[in-house]
Amino acid sequence: MTLPASMLLQGAGGGALGLLAQGTPITWAVLALLVVLSAASWTIMLGKRAQFAAVERTSAGLHDVVRGASGFDAAASRADDGAGSPHAAVLARAAEFLRGVRAPQAAAADARPRLSPAQVEALQLVLDTASTAERDRLERRLPWLATIGAVSPLIGLFGTVIGVINAFLGVAAAGSGNIAAVAPGVAEALVATALALAVAIPAVFGFNLFAQRLNRLDGDLEAFGADIVALLVRDGRI
């Protein structure tokens, strides 16, 4: 027979909450820590979801800007269209590099001097460095999800062990193994295990999901850098 939820959640007269009310401070500390870790993981996941959604909205637009621009300067002037996105940061870093290498050749007749092989190589390094920096920025706080997913089951296991110990202590105190003696300790153990799994599973799932999206973004930034180099070739600077 299935028990109604009202019986499972009833007060001190019985049910899970009633049994937990007799729990030790250690058990309550474990449960409180798991609740804090759950809140932290969901906060990180919701924040990253919004951040990645914003990045993916702007990336396609900047790709189109670079591929369809008449020249690099025209594309660089549109970097503000994706303000705050990794692609805009990479484009702005490339523009900054080109402004820096143009000054020593200002006396040349060509207003847009061609880059030397060494300068092209330096530009590629600049693009790679900017892409890596943006990836690191987006990756911030993601390792916490992996940590929470790995540590929560161990914390829950600690609560489980404490609950089992309390169950045996209840048996020793009562002098018998009746259900009233072991129920509080067993309830502590099972609730700690269930809560630990409820914390760990979403955290691990979220970490794997965002790690996959981050890897996809890494490849997209590499392609964006290649688009910038191709635009410079069309622009006659390489």
| Rg (alpha carbons) of the chain, rounded to whole number | 29
Report d(CA 175, CA 207) in Å as an integer: 48
What percentage of the chain's residues is helix, strand, coil (to nearest 5)? Answer: 80, 0, 20
208 and 45 Cβ atoms separated by less than 8 Å: no
Asked if residue 145 lies in contact with residue 44, where contact means CB atoms within 8 angstroms, the answer is: yes
Give me the tens of pLDDT residue by residue for the chain, a chain 238 residues long: 344 444 344 444 455 555 556 667 888 888 899 999 999 999 999 999 998 988 888 877 787 788 877 788 888 887 777 677 888 888 888 888 888 775 454 445 555 567 778 888 888 999 999 999 989 988 989 999 999 999 999 999 888 888 888 777 766 766 665 666 666 677 778 888 889 999 999 999 999 999 999 999 888 888 888 888 888 888 777 7
Closest CA to 129 of 97, 98, 100: 97
Task: State the amino acid at position 227 in one-letter form.
Answer: D
Q: Cβ of 126: how many Cβ atoms within 10 Å? A: 18
CA nearest to 80, candidates 69, 93, 67, 89 = 89
81 neighbors 55 (Cβ within 8 angstroms): no
Question: Do the beta carbons of residue 142 and residue 210 sit within 8 Å?
Answer: yes
CA atoms within 13 A on the CB side of 205: 7
- What separation, in Å, do the N-terminal and C-terminal C-alpha atoms of the chain show? 78
84 secondary structure, DSSP code: T
Q: How far is CA 234 from CA 30, 150, 209, 231, in A?
A: 62, 50, 38, 5
